[in-house]
Structure 1
Amino acid sequence: MNFILDTNVLISAALFKGSLADKSFDKVRELGTLITSDPVYLELKEVINVSRCRDPKDDMFLELALSGEAKAIISSDPDLLALNPFENILIIPPQEFLEQF
């Protein structure tokens, strides 16, 4: 059987051992063949080389939120706030956090 994994699943599988994406990658290899194409490879290459945030130093907070399955990132940083929500994770200023939680 042939399977296709989207770029976001491939990246998550590479970054987060034991994640659902990682388990899906392993299952594809167990059951059949991962198929890809030049455009998929080029997208993967492009995504890997691009920071998620306008300020690359803030990427560590995004990665931590994903790996820690955070509900929210509380920040006053406009670069982070511009991403709200990020993969179903709220990015909100302290005042909004206090009001919502």
Structure 2
Amino acid sequence: MKGDRFVLDTNVLISAALSADSTPARVTLWVIAHARLIFAEATFEEFRSRLWRPKFDRYLTIERRNQILHDFSAIADWVELNDDALPVSSRDPDDDMFIRAAMAGSARWLVSGHKDLLDVQGLPAITILTPADMLKRISA
């Protein structure tokens, strides 16, 4: 798994930002240290817009949010999304950008807590796991 390419969806990244001791944070830190994190403009924009929601004001300072966004932007491998038909898609069309990013970036892993993504079957060479299941794999 070291050196593999990963897409972490927005809920994983937000959870990691909010709780440094959480399973999503542990997975995110492992990916940063041992693998490659994939972002597309659309996936990063969703993360950025969610991170700036007022409900997170009591947990994350403006400075901390700016630092998180800067750091992720700097370390990520950036990919362009295309509009080609997907071999499979999520029940939630908004989640398809994560599948597209994984495919465009030749990611082996997509980590998500969304059932709509977790239920996707038939993606060649991409495994979709929860943060807890991913943590089990990287801890083994």
TM-score by length of 2: 0.35
Q: Which entry has the higher C-alpha Rg, 1 or 2?
A: 1
Higher relative contact order at CA 8 Å, sep ≥6: structure 1 or structure 2?
2
TM-score by length of 1: 0.47
